[in-house]
Amino acid sequence: MLRSISTRCLRFRGLHTTNALRIDPKTVEEVRIPVPWGHIAGKWWGSREGTPVILAIHGWQDNAGSWDPVCERIPDEYSVLAVDLPGNGLSSHFPPFVSYTFLETPAILKRIVNYLNRGKIHLLGHSGGSAVCFMYACTFPEDVISYCGIDYLVYCYQKESARVTALSKNLDTAINLALRDPRKAKRYSWEEARDKWVAATKGSLTPLTAEILMQRGVSKLPDGRVVFSRDNRVKSADLNQLKVDQVTDMVRNYEASTCLLRAKDSMYFYSRGIKNFPGILDILKNQCRHYEYHDLEGNHHIHMDKADEVSEIYVSFLNQVKRLN
């Protein structure tokens, strides 16, 4: 049950923490990590003394609230930092005319890892956030102990022709989104915004899980209505995708212990990167010190809907990794 707590302010390793709602008996703090364009916001769950840190990355257009159901169930001894990627949740938006791209996001993670200065980390990702975590583990293998990816692994393409065909349309869309005036954003009642978010995910979110994301994903206006607070530019299609041969070269560096979870009622796990690069799973099995794959009943936001099952699998995985290291 959510409950308010007395006001207090903490400072931990330079992280600026603010008042937050606590979920009994868990401990969670709001944090702000300074970056040149503002800050990266996040929620720090569990022990701040715990190492290594679990860095949790949400999916496309979601926010750190995506991890609330799982983090509520992870033992308090674990230290989990769930962040809002730039342009989402409570994090600062990128400066004007700076694009949000898949290849930029691992650099965001590197900034966070460097700022924390806590040694090697565990990575936990959902959807697009899972792909970012995987790419980070390929790029900076020395930083990563383990990676758990939920219902996505990597996006890559085979044919240049299809990408070229879509390029002009995607560029036009990106420019038009960047020119939108946020002061003229459409206003909704709470219920309208919730239903719109559910519909946008084609039912992957439920009204309950959508409202969890809305705690960080909408801004309340004086008249009681709300506007979506994410940067319009995050909605545009990513123009910086990788070819299969590029991913093949990058994955040679990969060595993190790996746990993959696929939602059976979702199309995302096999629909893009793995469809174009089916051999990648065998590569991971052969290179990882420890490898797990789980098929679970449920839809794309399975970590929110089936948090008991997902958290049980994840904690078991972490314990196995700990025994191996």
Q: Which two tokens stand for residue 43?
A: 């929620």
Dihedral angle, C-alpha 6, 12, 17, 23, nearest 10 ° = -60
Taking all residues of the chain, what is their mean pLDDT, rounded to a whole number? 87
Encode pLDDT of 225-252 as tens digits. Answer: 999 999 988 887 676 678 888 899 999 9
Distance CA 272, CA 155 (A): 6
Instruction: Give pLDDT, residue 162.
Output: 66
Does residue 84 have a pLDDT over 90? yes
Encode pLDDT of 115-150 as tens digits. Answer: 999 999 999 999 999 999 999 999 999 999 999 999
Distance CA 32, CA 18 (A): 8
Catalytic residue among 79, 91, 92, 127: 127
Instruction: Give pLDDT, residue 26.
Output: 66
Instruction: Give pLDDT, residue 13.
Output: 35
Does residue 80 have a pLDDT over 50? yes
Q: What is the mean pLDDT of residues 108-116?
A: 97
Q: What is the mean pLDDT of residues 191-216?
A: 97
Phi, then psi, of 318 in degrees rounded to 5: -60, -40
First-to-final CA distance of the chain: 36
**Taking CA 140 as the corner, what is the angle to CA 134 and CA 146, rounded to the nearest 5 degrees?**
50
Please confirm, yes or no, whether 91 is among the known catalytic residues: no
The pTM of this model reads 0.89
Q: What is the mean pLDDT of residues 309-320?
A: 98
Encode pLDDT of 181-196 as tens digits. Answer: 777 778 999 999 999 9
Which carries the bigger pLDDT value, residue 4 or residue 50?
50
The neighbour count for residue 21, using CB atoms within 10 Å, is 12
Does residue 316 have a pLDDT over 50? yes
Give residue 21's pLDDT band: very low, low, confident or very high (50, 70, 90).
Answer: very low
Q: What is the mean pLDDT of residues 57-67?
A: 97
For tokens 């869309």, name the residue. Answer: 173
227: CB partners within 8 A, 6+ apart: 182, 185, 186, 187, 188, 218, 219, 221
Closest CA to 40 of 97, 110, 103: 110
Give residue 174's pLDDT band: very low, low, confident or very high (50, 70, 90).
Answer: confident
What distance lies between CA 218 and its chain's CA centroid? 18
Does residue 261 have a pLDDT over 60? yes
Instruction: Give pLDDT, residue 5.
Output: 26
Instruction: Give pLDDT, residue 124.
Output: 99
- All structural domains of the chain, each given as residue ranges with its CATH number in brackets, are 2-156+239-324 (3.40.50.1820)
Encode pLDDT of 296-313 as tens digits. Answer: 999 999 999 999 999 999
CA atoms within 13 A on the CB side of 74: 32
Instruction: Give pLDDT, residue 74.
Output: 95
